[in-house]
Amino acid sequence: MTEIHKYAPVLIPTLNRYDHFKRCLESLESCTGADKTDVYVGLDYPPSEKYVDGWKKIDAYLAEKEKNHGFKNLFVRRRDHNCGVGNPNSNGNLLLNEILHEYDTYIFTEDDNEFSLNFLDYMNKSLWRFKDDDRIIKVCGYNFVMQFPEMYRNNFYFSKSECAWGMGSWVHKNETLNRYRNLEYLKNLIRDDNTYHNMLKRDPRCVGLIMGMLKAKQLHGDAILEVYAVLEDKYFILPTISKTRNYGNDGTGWHSPKMNEKQHIFYSKQEIDQAKTFDFTDDIFTYEPVYLIRQNFKPRKSIKSLYKKLVMKLDVFLLRRFDILLETKYL
């Protein structure tokens, strides 16, 4: 049985999605180990009038929570200007920078996740168990519906794919990852022949992830992680039964477009673990990567999707040959 020597703090940036945030915080408060957990909430300042109503609701709700909550500590950081996302001084990064010198590990979640009762137990035991395993860079709380081999008996697995819907991290493992958090460095990955062909061989999707960040002039944490895992041969820990449920596919998120109703229901109604605690199984496959079939929605083939692929190929060609990055859009 894996013991928890110190609980990781939970970081939650938020702005105006009151219903999402309330659900997120209260489900976290119900977790086993919540009373041993420090929670840091960053309430960003509204960038325009349409965000003010939800922002005021969250502010008032947090004022009450600060008086009475089920955590070890609840720290609320109210921003006096809009910090946004995807930049070095974003709301989320400010929270992260605040805790780096005080904790060895941390858990980061957006405000549109709902957690199972054993989310914190799973996260903290994973962070302790794999702290010295250089192959593992993050612990994911969410897992897509998967087809597991019949003979597979573990309650977790290694994967090169991740999902940022509730993720645990080690501070010391961020050091090698930091160089990927630079747009110029990412551009050079595309322009370098060996690295580019390596991505095409291992996972061609990495090229699109990098091009998307370069064209948006914005870093996306989950995209950076996947590129890093492919090029550096790293893995993520995921549970076989998801510890989180996500509600952000309703179009309210910064990066998530509104999906059709069927897809939104699929994610927001997904079954999550009902157990109160988590303990690792140790079957024969425990330390081997598993490649699984993800039960998800296949992208529709259309003239628009074909156009996007053609534009991306042109963008890659111009960047690699002439160091030119057009303002075209394809994502």
- What local confidence, expressed as pLDDT, does residue 178 receive? 87
pLDDT tens for 292-329 read 444 454 555 567 778 888 888 999 999 999 999 987 66
Residue type, 25: L
Distance CA 323, CA 331 (A): 20
Global confidence as pTM: 0.86
What average pLDDT does the structure give for the chain? 89
CA distance linking residue 254 with residue 62, whole number of Å: 22
Identify the pLDDT of residue 300: 54
% of residues, the chain, pLDDT over 70 = 90
Asked if 71 contacts 34 with a C-beta cutoff of 8 angstroms, the reply is yes
Q: Which two tokens stand for residue 80?
A: 């006096």
Query: What Å distances lie between residue 326 and 240, 315, 317, 319, CA to CA?
Result: 41, 7, 11, 9
CB 240 within 8 A of CB 271: no
Whether the pLDDT of residue 243 is over 90: the answer is yes
- In this prediction, residue 160 carries a pLDDT of 84
CA angle 289, 295, 296 (to 5 degrees): 115
Q: Where are the alpha helices (DSSP H) in the chain?
A: 18-29, 52-65, 91-99, 119-129, 174-177, 183-191, 193-202, 205-216, 221-232, 261-268, 303-322
Q: Which residue carries 């998307």 as its tokens?
A: 212
**Residue 45: helix, strand or coil by DSSP?**
coil
